[in-house]
Amino acid sequence: MIGIEAFRVVLPEFLLLSGALATYALGRALRWRDPGYIGGIAAFFALAALIAFISAVPGVLGGGAVPTAVLGTSGITLALDPLALLIGCAATSILLAACLYSARCFGQETGTEKYYALLLLMAAGVIGIGLAQDIFNMYVFFELMSVASFPLVAYHSGAWDPVKAATKYAVMSAAGSVTALFGISLVFMSAGTLEISRIGTALSSVSPPPAQGIILISGGLIVAGFGVKAAIVPLHTWLPDAHSFAPSGVSAMLSGIVIQAGLIAMIKAMAPLSGAGGSFPLGLTLALFAALTMCMGNLIALKQRDLKKMLACSSIAHMGYILLGFSFGIGLYGTGTELGYTGGLYHILGHVFMKGGAFLCAGAFIYALRSKDIDEMEGIGRAVPALGIPFVLCMLALNGMPPMTGFVSELFICRAGIASGVAGMLLVFVMLANIVISFGYYLPAINTIVFSEGSGRKAKGMRPVPLLIQLVIAMTAVVVVILGIAPQAGLALVSPAAAYIASLFGPV
């Protein structure tokens, strides 16, 4: 018999995994019906998983024991800790939006039962990364997320570009997975365990102690392996094509939560190694990668005229912001500040909705005009205010304009940097410079799509955008505003998760 607390832990995963099977089976049985029915079935399971996470909030954040489930005699331990709760709420929220959006976006396309089943499996992998309490099973969930995402990128396989993008994504991701697995094997060889809570103690009690070189090599392999999925420069080259050629609902999930899940996996795997790495400056190293990532992402985005590719490139820059926050949390020279974790996690939460909403807006524009070129979208935002207003809100949030959610998270990161000394302040300056650079592509896109003088000229012959798509987009924009003007709503989830990550790295 499984206890009630253990049941609460595995329920969201059970709903998504069984939902994937049910969606595929019912989709095959209802092939003669409107494909929107299949999207509705997937949305039902996504909503059920979201409700399961929301219902667990009082218990998990109430200060009691963390709900834990041990699966049979396998020793697989899953725990609904504050970080897992944050990731679960974020992942199921954007999953629900993607399912509802896609239900009215695909029209009469075939194969949608595979699309929704894979979408649910990808979300299950993301959630499993948060729940897993040992590195190997976290890696298994990471692979579930990755393998489900490859065919989703190539869903429109009738064209060559999506197939090429998916192939590049799969090859680089596979190389990263092998690299991470090799690093994990070195950790097991050195510590004799892969339980996150026991690795640090095991490494310190081994006699003779493992060579510092082995610890550093294993940590480097883990960072490089998971860093591919997190799109850390120079491991980012797969992202612009994969995110831009995928269906827009998939793009919203890939940029909104999947690449962030790669970063969470990297942080959870590195935490128990940080104390065993001697004097190696992990925080400073990650901060330098963060600066390089945000600079490269923004500079690549500047030259894009394809709206989805521009948004995809900006996701690289935002991963730099998030990574910078985590590096301040770890500490540039040793002791860090929990504000860094708070800023990084708040940016993850906000990015789910501001980037997810921006991609859904882009998909709606493409649906209406059958073009991804920003110049071809001239005036559509004014012609359809239900799309134009959310687009403006999401883009301004991505640019860090107050009082949007992006401003709140970036403010936390800046405060953490200022508290980190001179090096932290220099890195904050780099981040602020990148925010200014991002004005160079966010504002022109807003001007062309929403405020152009040629308003409506090219939008006259557009295809009507279904009401459900407009409603889903509006809801993402509403959350973006709420998280900006009432940050305490987001901090209720983020602050306990930040404290949890801080505990993994030791006292701050």
The Cα–Cα gap between 205 and 222 comes to 22
Q: State how far the Cα of 198 lies from the Cα of 202, in Å rounded to an integer.
A: 6
Concatenating the DSSP letter of every residue in 335-403 gives: ---HHHHHHHHHHHHHHHHHHHHHHHHHHHHHHHHS--BTGGGTTHHHHSHHHHHHHHHHHHHHTT-TT
Is 69 in a helix, a strand, or coil?
strand
CA distance 130 to 340: 19
The pLDDT, as a whole number, for residue 508 is: 43
Q: What residue type is assigned to position 366 of the chain? A: I
Decide: 232 and 294 in contact? Cβ < 8 Å.
no
Residues with Cβ < 8 Å from 342, sequence gap 6 or more? 325, 329, 412, 416, 491, 494, 495, 498
CB 443 within 8 A of CB 449: no
- Token pair 């992998």 is found at 125
What percent of the chain is helix, strand and coil (3-state, nearest 5)? 75, 5, 20
- Contacts of 219 by beta carbon, 8 Å cutoff, 6+ apart: 183, 270, 273, 277, 280, 282
| DSSP per-residue string spanning 441-472 | HHHHHHHHHTS-TTTTTTTTTPPPPPHHHHHH
pLDDT at 324: 97
Under DSSP, the state recorded for 44 is H
pLDDT by residue for the chain (508 residues), tens only, comes to: 456 778 889 999 999 999 999 999 988 887 656 667 888 999 999 999 999 999 999 888 877 678 888 876 667 889 999 999 999 999 999 999 999 999 887 765 667 889 999 999 999 999 999 999 999 999 999 999 999 999 999 988 677 888 999 999 999 999 999 999 999 999 999 888 899 988 888 887 766 666 678 888 998 999 999 999 999 999 999 999 998 899 999 999 999 999 999 999 999 999 888 766 555 688 999 999 999 999 999 999 999 999 999 999 999 999 999 999 999 999 988 778 899 999 999 999 999 999 999 999 999 999 999 888 998 999 899 889 999 999 999 999 999 999 999 999 999 999 999 999 999 999 999 999 999 999 999 999 999 999 886 655 555 668 889 999 999 999 999 999 999 999 999 999 999 999 999 998 875 4
Spell out the residues 6+ positions from residue 493 whose beta carbon is closer than 8 angstroms to its own.
57, 61, 82, 85, 86, 89, 349
Do residues 289 and 232 touch, judged by C-beta distance below 8 A? yes
Instruction: Answer whether 375's CB lies under 8 Å from 354's CB.
Output: no
Side chain identity, residue 264: I
Cβ atoms of 19 and 148 within 8 Å: the answer is: no
The span from the CA of 89 to the CA of 93, in Å, is 6
pTM: 0.94
Residues 6+ apart with CB under 8 A from 482: 489
What are the residue boundaries of the structural domains of the chain, listed by start? 281-508
Distance of CA 104 to the CA centre of its chain: 24
Parallel/antiparallel/unpaired status of strands 68-71 and 76-79: antiparallel
CA–CA distance, 397 with 395 (Å, rounded to integer): 5
Q: For residue 230, what is the DSSP state? A: T
* Coil vs helix vs strand at 34: coil
CA distance linking residue 354 with residue 370, whole number of Å? 23
